[in-house]
C-alpha cells in the first residue's frame, strides 16, 4: 500500500497547472560526432503552426526533499511515473532538483525521461539496463528521396536486414575490425577485471558489435525537409550493457542491506567514492564506448548498402552519434530552487531516456516508426540539466498496445514506408506513442529544430 503523502503529492501535481495552460490528453565523457551547423528555417516553421501552444513549462512539483522540474502537463503523466519521479526526488541521489522531459513515462525502477545530478551517488537503474543506448544519423551526399524508387527502397531494406542481425541474433563471427575496436575502447576506457574476463570469454560481446536488438531499436532511411536522404539508427550496448547493469544493481542492493541503509524501490545506489561505485562507473564507461562503436559498425554497414544501391557516399563531417542512457561528469551551473543559491560544480549527471542539449550541441529526437524524427540543437537550459527528450515517449504499454491497436490500423499508419508490419512489432505502432509535435512544443526552451526527418525505409527486430 502506498503511503498517504505519496497520494497527496500526485494529487497536487495534477492540480498545479491552470486550466488555460493545459494541453489535451488525447491523441561519459565520450565526445559525440556532430552535424552541420546549417539551420533550416522552414523546419522550425513547420513545427510552429502544427503544434499547440506549449504550456508554461517547467512545472515545479514540490516533494519532501528536492523539487521536480516537469516539462510536461502533470495531468498527462502516468500516476505511476509521477510516483517514480517523487521517489527519486526524495532519495539521497539528486542535488538541486530532478528534471522530467516531455516524453517522460514509466520505466524500470526509474522513470524514462528523467535527469538528475549527484555529487555522491550513482544508481545503475537510473542509467538504465541498456547502458549507452542512443542514436546515430548521417546524410548521404547528393541523394534525394526522388532518386529512390520503390525497387531501390525494397532492395535497401532487404540488404540491411540481411547484413545487420536483429532481435536476439548476432554475427556468426566478429566483424572485421571488431576486436580492434574492443582493444581500442578497452585502452581508452579500461574495464574492471570482472568485465575484462567476460570480454575474453563471451563470444556474444564481439559478435554483437554491429547488431540492432529489438524493442524500440530501429534502422531507417529518412529524408529531410529538402528531400535529402539520411540514414538513422537507434541501438545500445546489447547484452553486455544489460548484464553489467544487472550485476551492479544486485551489488548495490546487497551493500545497502549489509550496511543497513534505507533502500528505495528500484533505486539501489552506490557511493561514487566507494570501490564498488568506482568499479560501476569504470564498466559503465566501457559499455557506453561499446554502444557508440556498435552504432558506428551498423552505420558503416548501412553506408555500404546505400553506396551499393545508389552509388552515393555519406557526408561524414555531419555525422551524429549520441547516447541517451548514460551518466557523465559535467560542469553544472544552476540556481538551487529551494535556497536560491547559485551553484557551480562538477557533478555526475544521469540521463535515462534523455538527450544532452548543451548550448549548440546536436541531438536526435526520434518519434515512432511512422512519424519521423528531428535533428536538434541544444540551448543549455539549466532547469533541464541541459537535456531534452530522447523521443516521443510511449503512451501505451506494450501489452496495452497489442490489445488496443488493430493490425489493420497499424498497417494503415505505416502506409508509404517500406517496412515490416509483422504482428510481432505491433507494440511499436505509431499509435502506441505520444504526439511528437506536442513533445517538441513542450521543449521549445530546451532545443531548436535543425532538420525534420520523415521515414522512407524502416527495419526493426522481432
Q: Which residues are annotated as a binding site?
A: 130, 216-220, 234, 324-325, 366-369, 373, 390-393, 460
What is the pLDDT averaged over residues 99-115? 95
| 16 domain residue, yes or no | no
Report the C-alpha gap between 320 and 314 in whole angstroms. 12
Residues that constitute the known binding site for GMP: 216-220, 324-325, 366-369, 373, 390-393, 460
Q: What is the pTM of this model?
A: 0.88
In a domain, residue 345? The reply is: yes
Q: Is the pLDDT of residue 42 over 60?
A: no
Mean pLDDT of 9-18: 40
The enclosing domain of 218 has a CATH number of 3.90.1860.10
Could you list the beta-strand ranges (E) of 289-389: 320-323, 325-335, 342-352, 354-356, 362-366, 373-378, 387-389
In a domain, 143, yes or no: yes
Does residue 402 lie in a domain region? no
Q: Residues for the chain: how many in total? A: 462
pLDDT at residue 12 tops 60: no
Per-residue pLDDT reduced to its tens digit, 413-436: 999 999 999 999 999 999 999 999
pLDDT grade for 262, boundaries at 50, 70 and 90: confident
**H helix intervals, 311-356:** none
What is the reported pLDDT for 55?
63
C-alpha–C-alpha distance, residues 376 and 270, integer Å: 34
Q: Are strands 121-122 and 112-118 parallel, antiparallel or unpaired?
A: unpaired
Which one is catalytic: 7, 390, 406, 451? 390
State pLDDT tens for residues 167-201: 999 999 999 999 999 999 999 999 999 999 999 99
Say yes or no to pLDDT of 28 above 70: no
Share of the chain above pLDDT 70, in %: 88
Whether the CA torsion 186, 187, 190, 196 is positive or negative: it is: positive
Q: Output the known binding site for Mn(2+).
A: 130, 217, 234, 324
User: Of 451, 460, 450, which Cα lies nearest the Cα of 430?
Assistant: 460
DSSP state of 412: H
Q: What is the domain range of residue 291?
A: 38-59+115-395+433-460
Would you state the pLDDT for residue 261?
A: 87
User: Is residue 151 one of the residues assigned to a domain?
Assistant: yes
Q: Is 451 a catalytic residue?
A: no
Q: Could you give the CA distance from residue 84 to residue 60 in angstroms, rounded to a whole number?
A: 16
How many structural domains does the chain have? 1
The confidence band for 13, taking pLDDT boundaries of 50, 70 and 90, is: very low
Nearest to 286 by CA among 317, 345, 243, 253: 243
Amino acid at each position: 500500500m502506498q503511503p498517504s503523502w505519496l497520494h497527496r503529492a500526485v494529487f497536487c501535481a495534477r492540480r498545479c497547472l491552470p486550466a488555460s495552460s493545459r494541453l489535451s490528453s488525447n491523441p561519459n565523457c565520450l565526445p559525440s560526432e556532430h552535424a552541420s551547423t546549417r539551420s533550416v528555417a522552414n523546419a522550425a516553421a513547420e513545427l510552429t503552426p502544427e503544434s499547440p501552444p506549449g504550456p508554461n513549462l517547467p512545472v515545479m512539483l514540490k516533494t519532501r526533499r528536492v523539487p521536480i522540474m516537469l516539462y510536461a502537463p502533470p495531468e498527462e503523466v502516468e500516476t505511476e511515473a509521477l510516483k517514480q519521479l517523487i521517489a527519486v526526488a526524495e532519495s539521497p541521489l539528486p542535488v538541486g532538483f530532478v528534471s522530467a522531459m516531455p516524453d517522460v513515462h514509466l520505466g524500470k525502477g526509474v522513470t524514462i525521461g528523467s535527469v538528475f545530478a549527484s555529487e555522491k551517488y550513482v544508481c545503475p537503474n537510473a542509467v538504465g539496463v541498456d547502458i549507452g543506448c542512443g542514436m546515430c544519423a548521417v546524410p548521404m551526399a547528393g541523394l534525394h528521396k526522388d532518386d529512390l524508387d520503390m525497387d531501390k527502397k525494397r532492395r535497401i531494406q532487404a540488404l540491411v536486414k540481411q547484413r545487420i542481425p536483429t532481435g536476439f541474433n548476432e554475427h556468426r563471427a566478429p566483424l572485421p575490425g571488431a576486436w580492434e575496436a574492443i582493444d581500442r575502447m578497452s585502452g581508452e576506457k579500461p574495464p574492471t577485471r570482472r568485465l575484462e574476463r567476460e570480454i575474453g570469454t563471451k563470444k556474444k560481446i564481439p559478435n554483437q558489435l554491429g547488431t540492432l536488438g529489438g524493442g524500440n531499436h530501429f534502422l531507417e532511411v529518412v529524408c529531410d525537409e529538402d528531400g535529402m536522404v539520411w540514414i538513422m539508427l537507434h541501438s545500445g550496448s546489447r547484452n553486455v550493457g544489460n548484464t553489467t547493469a544487472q550485476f551492479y544493481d544486485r551489488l548495490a542492493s546487497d551493500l545497502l542491506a549489509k550496511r543497513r541503509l534505507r533502500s528505495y524501490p528500484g533505486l539501489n545506489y552506490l557511493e561514487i567514492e566507494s570501490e564498488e561505485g568506482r568499479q560501476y562507473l569504470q564498466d559503465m564507461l566501457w559499455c557506453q564506448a561499446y554502444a557508440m562503436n556498435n552504432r558506428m559498425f551498423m552505420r558503416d554497414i548501412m553506408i555500404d548498402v546505400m553506396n551499393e544501391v545508389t552509388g552515393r557516399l555519406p557526408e561524414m563531417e555531419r555525422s551524429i552519434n549520441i547516447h541517451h542512457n548514460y551518466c557523465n561528469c559535467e560542469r553544472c551551473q544552476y540556481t538551487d530552487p529551494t535556497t536560491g543559491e547559485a551553484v557551480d560544480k562538477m557533478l555526475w549527471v544521469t540521463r535515462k531516456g534523455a538527450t544532452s542539449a548543451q548550448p549548440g550541441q546536436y541531438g536526435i529526437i526520434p518519434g515512432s516508426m511512422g512519424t519521423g524524427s528531428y535533428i536538434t540543437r541544444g540551448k543549455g537550459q539549466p532547469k533541464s540539466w541541459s537535456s531534452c527528450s530522447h523521443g516521443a515517449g510511449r503512451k501505451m504499454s506494450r501489452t496495452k498496445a497489442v490489445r488496443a491497436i488493430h493490425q489493420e490500423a497499424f498497417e494503415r499508419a505505416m502506409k508509404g514506408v517500406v517496412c515490416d508490419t509483422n504482428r510481432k512489432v505491433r507494440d511499436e505502432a505509431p499509435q502506441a506513442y505520444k504526439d511528437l509535435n506536442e513533445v517538441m512544443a513542450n521543449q521549445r526552451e530546451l532545443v531548436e529544430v535543425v532538420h525534420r526527418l520523415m521515414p522512407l525505409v524502416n527495419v526493426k527486430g522481432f
